[in-house]
Amino acid sequence: MNSDGFPLWDQKRVKRYKELGLWENETFGEMLTRLARIHPDKVALTWHGQHLTYAELNHRVERSAKALLAFGLKQGDKVIVQLPNSFAFFEGVFALFKIGVLPVFCLPSHRFHEISHIAMHVEAVAYLTSEKRTGFDYVSLAHEVKESCPELVHIFSFDEMDGLVETGQFEGETDLQVKVDPDSYAFLQLSGGSTGLPKLIPRTHNDYYYSVRRSNELCGINEESVYLAVLPVAHNYPLSSPGVLGLLLGGGRIVLADSGSADEAFQLIEKEQVTITALVPPLALVWLEAVKHRKEDLSSLQVIQVGGAKCSAEVAKRIGPAFQCTLQQVFGMAEGLVNYTRLTDSEDKILYTQGKPMSEYDEIRIVDEHENDLGLNIAGELWTRGPYTIPGYFKADDHNRKSFSQDGFYKTGDVASVTDDGYLIVQGRMKDQINRGGEKVAAEEVENQLLAHETIFDAAIVAIPDDYLGERVCAYIILNKSFTIEAKEVKAYLRSKGLADYKIPDVVHFVDSFPETGVGKVSKQQLRQAIVQKVLMNN
Ligand code: OOB
């Protein structure tokens, strides 16, 4: 780790990745400048029926970049970015890339609890947010966070269509004079995590750019591609697998949706002639139902990606025939490794595996509990290292010692097996995390909040299987003697603590004791395992 809290890449591997031509030494800021020169008049973004060409996008980005510099932002600063799928997201993020300031990608669903912690941890100096947004007042949230975070001095808000509100005076022709090192860290992503609050995942321009370029090759992205973004684009999957960055790099067009609703999405697919989109399994189920009775012409669709959580073979089987297109399973993680089924794979592979690592330089190990390598087709914990997998989290020494091996493998916490021809099948999970239809909930984070409540003696958060979301969040609670509280009060309490909505337990059970494990003083982990067993037996 360097003195700023960033993990160090192994320089021998860096040298190799460069010699092999994997790391190409172009930053994302330079990428946009180049694309705006190559095809200035091609539409890059479509949103709410409006279009932005590559040149227009680059112009807005440069104007914002100059404004952000004038406000005192400097290379290496970190900035909270909480922007919905909108022109503003691209304008803000690329402006930061161009001046070497690191966006910290928060999701629209994050609230005070998550963002204030993150802002403090990274010592964020600014917050990019959006002015008009129905349903939730994001600007007020930004002010609340600013009050609790001494380093945070600027809140920049974007008007939905017109861009950064503060930029007016920064038009002009002067070039941006900032040189950004492609080996430097470009941004921070949030990990779903399994302990406490989210960990921060630092990605360099070089490593991330390679993953985007390689994704484009495997997903067939070119200038004719039209990508519908229905998931929040700040998430690693719609951002880079190949996602919106892939579409820009490939010279294609991005169509931004406000939600994943079939109503909105199907109309956009027909109107904008969308060729590819990315879904999580619950959305795929909703679309499969909707397609039965909707009339839109969806024949432009060539590929539907499903990832973020396991797509059951039963659901996978229905997607190709229902949408007359190719299904691609995507098993990835913001820490790096992404696996894809290939577009030309046999049906067996597409339906029954979660794909193959995207790079021949991804290193995979499947290990048992003693960290011994297991053979093919035997399930164990998946470890990985490679040209776009992080060497560590940001400022998290203790956690890094647990999550990374001495020689730099990331211990994913996923249980998987590898087939004879190198495809991964995800079998389950070791980490204490609930995957609620692609949204990740760390059990410990919610438990810690519950334990702080005066009526609660002990709490365990477990996953309950669910046909629609895959898993839902269930809280088992033991109350302090002579206290009572209702389930809805527990949920309201968590909400008042500023927890994101998807982390609020779907089900709350009050019990007198946790299942006996017979080991004297029992650990939380054993308790959870016992409860999971009980839940599974009752299902
Ligand atoms: C993606 O990234 P994260 O960081 O939100 O979550 C990663 C975790 C994985 O470790 C695994 O537990 C689970 O999500 N996961 C899957 C899966 N895709 C992700 N589990 C089973 N089957 C799958 N297809 O979720 C992500 C990042 C990039 C691309 C795609 C997904």
> Which ipTM was obtained for this model?
1.00
Closest C-alpha to 404, from 387, 422, 384, 423: 384
CB contact at 8 A, 410 and 383: yes
The predicted structure's pLDDT at residue 520: 63
- 42's tokens: 């091609």
Q: How far apart are CA 321 and CA 125, in angstroms?
A: 50
* 128 Cβ closer than 6 Å to some ligand 1 atom: no
Closest C-alpha to 187, from 132, 220, 219, 234: 234
Tell how far the Cα of 10 is from the centroid of ligand 1, in angstroms: 25
Q: How far apart are CA 235 and CA 416, in angstroms?
A: 23
In this prediction, residue 167 has a pLDDT band, given cuts at 50, 70 and 90, of low
Q: Tell the residue nearest (CA) to atom 8 of ligand 1.
A: 333
Q: Does domain 433-538 match CATH 3.30.300.30?
A: yes
Q: Could you tell me the pTM of the whole model?
A: 0.94
- Facing residues of 203 across strands? 187
Asked if pLDDT for residue 211 goes beyond 80, the answer is: yes
Which of 200, 211, 306, 331 to probe ligand 1 with, by most ligand atoms within 8 A of CB? 331
Asked if pLDDT for residue 201 goes beyond 90, the answer is: yes
Tell how far the Cα of 332 is from the centroid of ligand 1, in angstroms: 4
Asked if pLDDT for residue 521 goes beyond 80, the answer is: no
State the chain's maximal CA–CA distance in angstroms: 73
Determine the 3-state secondary structure of 132 from DSSP.
coil
| Mean per-residue pLDDT of the chain | 93
pLDDT in tens, 73-116: 999 999 999 999 999 999 999 999 999 999 999 999 999 999 99
Asked if pLDDT for residue 131 goes beyond 90, the answer is: no
Closest C-alpha to 153, from 78, 234, 100: 78
Q: How far apart are CA 104 and CA 321, in angstroms?
A: 39
Closest C-alpha to 435, from 229, 280, 304, 315: 280
Q: How far apart are CA 451 and CA 397, in angstroms?
A: 26
Q: What is the mean pLDDT of residues 382-404?
A: 97
Asked if pLDDT for residue 516 goes beyond 80, the answer is: no
Q: Tell the residue nearest (CA) to atom 30 of ligand 1.
A: 332
Q: How far apart are CA 222 and CA 27, in angstroms?
A: 20
Closest C-alpha to 131, from 154, 167, 157, 107: 157
Atom of ligand 1 nearest to the CA of 307: 24
pLDDT in tens, 314-337: 999 999 999 999 999 999 999 999
Sign of the CA dihedral with 63 first, then 65, 69, and 72 last: positive
* 426 Cβ closer than 6 Å to some ligand 1 atom: yes
Q: How far apart are the first and last CA of the chain?
A: 46
Q: What is the mean pLDDT of residues 171-182?
A: 79
The predicted structure's pLDDT at residue 97: 98
Tell how far the Cα of 331 is from the centroid of ligand 1, in angstroms: 5
Helix locations, 39-99, DSSP H: 54-70, 87-98
The predicted structure's pLDDT at residue 7: 97
**Residue 219 φ then ψ, to 5°:** -105, 5
In this prediction, residue 537 has a pLDDT band, given cuts at 50, 70 and 90, of confident
Using CA atoms, how far residue 435 sits from 38, 102, 142, 441, 472, in Å, is: 41, 27, 27, 6, 8
Sign of the CA dihedral with 264 first, then 281, 212, and 185 last: positive
Asked if pLDDT for residue 524 goes beyond 70, the answer is: no
* 194 Cβ closer than 6 Å to some ligand 1 atom: no
In this prediction, residue 169 has a pLDDT band, given cuts at 50, 70 and 90, of low
The predicted structure's pLDDT at residue 536: 72
Using CA atoms, how far residue 132 sits from 46, 152, 362, 503, in Å, is: 18, 22, 42, 25
Angle between helix axes 487-496 and 443-451 (nearest 10 degrees) is 100
The predicted structure's pLDDT at residue 534: 75
> Of 268-272, 357-361, 441-445, 527-531, which range is least confident?
527-531
Q: What is the mean pLDDT of residues 121-129?
A: 97
The predicted structure's pLDDT at residue 335: 98
Count Cβ neighbours within 10 Å for each residue of 516-527 and write b for 16 or more, e otherwise.
eeeeeeeebeeb
In this prediction, residue 538 has a pLDDT band, given cuts at 50, 70 and 90, of confident
Tell how far the Cα of 46 is from the centroid of ligand 1, in angstroms: 27
Q: 387, exposed or middle or buried, with CB in 10 Å at 0-12, 13-18, 19+? A: buried
Asked if pLDDT for residue 306 goes beyond 80, the answer is: yes
The predicted structure's pLDDT at residue 173: 56
The predicted structure's pLDDT at residue 174: 62
Tell how far the Cα of 335 is from the centroid of ligand 1, in angstroms: 10
The predicted structure's pLDDT at residue 528: 74
| Residue extents of the structural domains in the chain | 433-538
* 309 Cβ closer than 6 Å to some ligand 1 atom: yes
- 121's tokens: 């941890």
* 429 Cβ closer than 6 Å to some ligand 1 atom: yes
Amino acid (1-letter code) at residue 529: Q
Tell how far the Cα of 336 is from the centroid of ligand 1, in angstroms: 10
Tell how far the Cα of 148 is from the centroid of ligand 1, in angstroms: 32
In this prediction, residue 395 has a pLDDT band, given cuts at 50, 70 and 90, of very high
Tell how far the Cα of 413 is from the centroid of ligand 1, in angstroms: 11
Asked if pLDDT for residue 18 goes beyond 90, the answer is: yes
Residue 425, C-beta contacts closer than 8 angstroms, at least 6 positions apart? 352, 353, 354, 416, 417, 418, 419
The predicted structure's pLDDT at residue 216: 98
**Residue 363 φ then ψ, to 5°:** -105, 135
